[in-house]
Amino acid sequence: MKQKFSLIYFVYLLVFVYFLIFSFSWPLLILSLFSFFIAFYRQYYSVLVLLLCFSLFLLMIKKETEVQERKQPEKISKNTPYMDTLQVNGSRLSFRGEVNGNDFQAFYTLTSEKEKEYFKKLAVKGTFYLEGTLEIPEEQRNFSGFDYRKYLRTQGVYRLLKIEKIYGFEEKQDFDLRWYAEKPFFGLRNISLLLCRPI
């Protein structure tokens, strides 16, 4: 069966549907309604049916993310970091970690040089036992500014973890495919540390 509409027109309308659902704005709505009216006027009914199916799918995704955002725990006492996200920047440690299937962006202020060196060299999978508070990320502060909350939401992160104290680190030996994907990164990092060391 030959379609009587072009695929580029379908993609054009699909982009409108996506942005209407995930970042609504009035000018976009007006332009979208005009485009949908043209599709209806040209009798592109199959396009409209496909768009309806895609919009239902996208609405389900949006609803699921809203449920995940509301379902976050109040307090956590441990966090398993993704080792490839562990970064020491000055006296600040940041990493992305996971607890019970929920991802968190964590921040900790390092208290000593010894602690700083420990976290720089840390390359084994494990769990931090800690004390910290969960916060909702900041939204966009000014008109065209960066929306940190929206960015983290696209990464599946709905809370920031401000760590006040780290009590300990327990190594884990369980199988994790992500950990094995990270190993070449740590090998390269350790080689570069070894080669760049002053003599």
pLDDT in tens, 56-92: 999 999 999 888 888 888 888 999 998 889 999 999 9
Q: Which residue has the tokens 């979208």?
A: 32
In the chain, the domains with their CATH numbers are: 7-70 (no CATH), 78-195 (2.40.50)
Q: Yes or no: say if 29 and 19 are a contact pair by the CB < 8 Å rule.
A: no
Confidence of residue 138 (pLDDT cuts 50, 70, 90): confident
SS3 call for 130: strand
Alpha-carbon distance values, 101 to 72, 112, 113, 122 (Å): 10, 32, 33, 23
Say how many C-beta atoms besides its own lie within 10 A of residue 174's C-beta. 6
pTM attached to this predicted model: 0.68
Q: Which helix (H) or strand (E) holds 74?
A: none
pLDDT at 16: 93
